[in-house]
Structure 1
Amino acid sequence: MRDHLSQTFSALADPTRRAILARLSQGEASVSDLAEPFLKDMSLPAITKHLKVLEKCGLVTKTREAQWRPCKLNGAPLKDATDWMEQYRQFWEESFDRLDAYLKTVTAKKKTKGKKHGNKK
């Protein structure tokens, strides 16, 4: 069985599912509302499959209000993915900061050497 983080990234890999999530970030919507922008290129059953993927990983929940079954965005899996990526962003940012500091010292040493030997660089 795949872990939740892998399921979230797999769900986010598809542009249709990302578009559905973008729409749900504006508020709850019915399946037909979510499907409408895609219907000229995709069938309703295909949209339903995309929604099932999003539901399975917990990004979308469906509720029942009489006959209406609104879909809602659940941000918790997105936060988990963001938290996971944040540690790597910090690592790379610190690595680039160290590289920048090193390059500044190398450049300063070259300028100092150049002045000692009468070179103008």
Structure 2
Amino acid sequence: MAMATEYTPDAPARADVDAFAGPSVIEFGTNWCGYCKAAQPAIAQAFKDHADMRHLKIEDGSGRPLGRSFRVKLWPTLIFMVNRREVARLVRPNDVSEIRDAFALLDQASSA
């Protein structure tokens, strides 16, 4: 699965996300958000080493239940999960190294 490039308004239910087997990255934001746009080069760079990673890029906002269930307050927020368990969270990442560090935690949790 390739890195998603656009935030989609079609969010799965939280129960469906919790049912994912293996590692996943859920990214919350909007296509018009300046912080989200600024973070995309670093996110894309980090994803180059994880091209097969499940990546959901979900449009967030007031009244969006998936983002509220994860208590997302700022964009972009990246949540790194393995089998229902959150292993890392980044809010407004601006450096590829911090995203790679979160991927390393995800890799460790996946192989445990």
- Highest Rg: 1 or 2? 1
Flag whether TM exceeds 0.5 (same fold).
Answer: no
What TM-score does the superposition give when structure 1 sets the normalisation length? 0.26
Q: Of Structure 1 and Structure 2, which has the larger fraction of its residues in strand?
A: 2
Q: Which TM-score applies when normalising by structure 2?
A: 0.28
- Bigger relative contact order, structure 1 or 2, given CA contacts below 8 A and separation 6+? 2
